[in-house]
Amino acid sequence: MQTKQQIQLLLASAGISPNKRLGQNFLIDLNLMRLLINSADINNNDVVLEVGCGTGSLTKGLAEKAGAVIAAELDATLTRIAKSQLEKNKNVEVINTDILEKKHFICPKITTAVTTARKHLAGKFLLVANLPYSVASPVMLNLITNKELIADAMYVTVQKEVALRMAAAPCDKHYGTLSILLSATGSVKTIRILKPAVFWPAPQVDSAMVSFVRSEEKINQIQSMKLFTEVVTLFMQHRRKMLTACTKFASENLKGIQNWPEIFEQNNIDPKKRPEQIAPADFLAIANTCHEYLKI
């Protein structure tokens, strides 16, 4: 792992400085890096995905624990630096790519690399990363809903506001799609609030170190993850309208639902309530009932 001075020297030698547009804020507190790695309880049969590996500082620590580390880095120069720093770590693959394809899906290069590594390693698949703020939510959403790449757990540093969204309950102003899908598929825990000074350059906001652990018991209650995601998206896109009004905007599979009043009544949900007031379990009940009606 690298100190602030070491990272500064690596960037200076390459003739670059942190790119604000890409959200390049390097975690420089070595104790916090160790806390993140230790919290993830990584073993040598696990595959770890790191998003935004930068100069390879955290990656080095991950490589000492994991069976394989797939590290994604958007910046080509940082990718070259990371590869040079990690050349002796044969269990690390650094890929110069945008983690998101078309801003919505995990890019195929990463999916292929993780899938290939998992053929040889039977342990957990983990996301452990100092996540760039701009991609934090879509990356986590993908790793809980994408059939091709489902994370068993995630241990990340994110902007504090994102951390609040991850753990928010109904009626909280931070409550949204991320809150609902995480709550319905596992458990979220805030490990530590991080002040700007533990990053270089220091961001303008506080951050947080957060964990998410997937629950098979909860997952088994979801009849269709795709349909559940569609239901949550439909209602939370119109979070301040009444539920019954939101149904007018139904699309994709939900366009085939004609009996919304019956669905609300069957699940004891007041159709005059607003989506921001509805608990994750009730969204799941709606989705499962829709699944029964659509038979998909």
Q: Is 128 inside a domain boundary?
A: yes
What mean pLDDT value characterizes the chain? 96
* Percentage above 70 pLDDT, the chain: 100
Q: Give the relative orientation of helices 4-13 and 76-85 as an angle to the nearest 10 degrees.
A: 120
Please compute the mean of the pLDDT values over residues 43-71 and round it to a whole number.
98
**Residue 89 within a domain:** yes
pLDDT band, very low/low/confident/very high, at 295 (cuts 50, 70, 90): confident
Tell whether 14 and 143 lie within a shared domain.
yes
Would strands 100-101 and 105-106 be described as parallel, antiparallel, or unpaired?
A: antiparallel
Whether residues 196 and 236 fall in one domain: no
Question: Does any domain span residue 220?
Answer: no
Phi, psi of 15 (to 5 degrees): 75, 30
Looking at the fold, whether 186 and 259 belong to one and the same domain comes out as no
Number of structural domains in the chain = 2
Measured N-to-C along each axis, helices 136-145 and 177-185 cross at an angle, to the nearest 10 degrees, of 40
Q: Which among 224, 249, 221, 222 has a CA at the least distance from the CA of 235?
A: 249
Mean pLDDT value across residues 35-41: 98
105 vs 176, higher pLDDT? 176
The CATH number given to whatever domain includes residue 100 is 3.40.50.150
Query: Same structural domain for residues 163 and 278?
Result: no
Dihedral sign, Cα of residue 256, residue 221, residue 48, residue 114: negative
Cβ burial of 247 (10 Å; 0-12, 13-18, 19+) is buried
Model confidence at 147: pLDDT above 90: no
The two three-digit tokens of residue 17, written as one number: 């400085």
Q: Alpha carbon of 31 to those of 18, 59, 150, 211, 222: distances in Å?
A: 22, 15, 29, 17, 39
Is 103 among the domain residues? yes
Same domain flag for 57 and 173: yes
Give, for 80, the enclosing helix (H) or strand (E): helix 76-85
Same domain for 167 and 48: yes
Tell me the residue range of the domain where 260 lies: 225-294
CATH number at residue 249: 1.10.8.100
pLDDT at 37: 98
- The pLDDT, as a whole number, for residue 296 is 61
* Mean pLDDT (whole number) for 144-163: 95
Backbone angles phi, psi at 124, to 5 degrees: -80, 160
257 and 157 part of one domain: no
pLDDT in tens, 85-128: 999 999 999 999 999 987 778 999 999 999 999 999 999 999 99
Does any domain span residue 15? Answer: yes
Tracing tokens 């921001």 back to the chain, one arrives at 276
In a domain, 290, yes or no: yes
pLDDT, position 242: 97
Show which of 170, 185, 215 is a domain's final residue.
215
Residue 35 domain flag: yes
Q: In what order do the strands lie in the sheet with 153-159?
A: 92-96, 68-73, 47-51, 125-130, 153-159, 207-214, 186-194
Alpha carbons 15 and 40: distance in angstroms, whole number: 34
Identify the domain boundary among 153, 186, 215.
215
